[in-house]
Amino acid sequence: MAELIIAETTGKKLKALEAFLEALDITFKKSSSPVLDRKIQEARAEKRAGTLKRVDPDNIWESIS
């Protein structure tokens, strides 16, 4: 089982995603997490500033040191 996080989707886009998931008989749960929202906003700000640290899955230790 995989998890999918869709952030900041409202209105028509949210309704279309819900309809799509229901049509495929995929269960989903909607929730609002202020902590997750804050972390997403911080990561986006870091990416815009060019300070976001990327981790290479093949060389984890080298990419985080």
Q: What confidence tens digit (pLDDT) does each residue in 15-39 have?
A: 998 999 999 998 888 877 888 888 8
> pTM for the whole thing?
0.49
Q: How does DSSP assign the chain, residue by residue?
A: -------S--HHHHHHHHHHHHHTT--------HHHHHHHHHHHHHHHHT-PPP--TTSHHHHH-
Q: What confidence tens digit (pLDDT) does each residue in 2-11 have?
A: 777 787 678 8
Q: Where are the domains of the chain?
A: 11-64
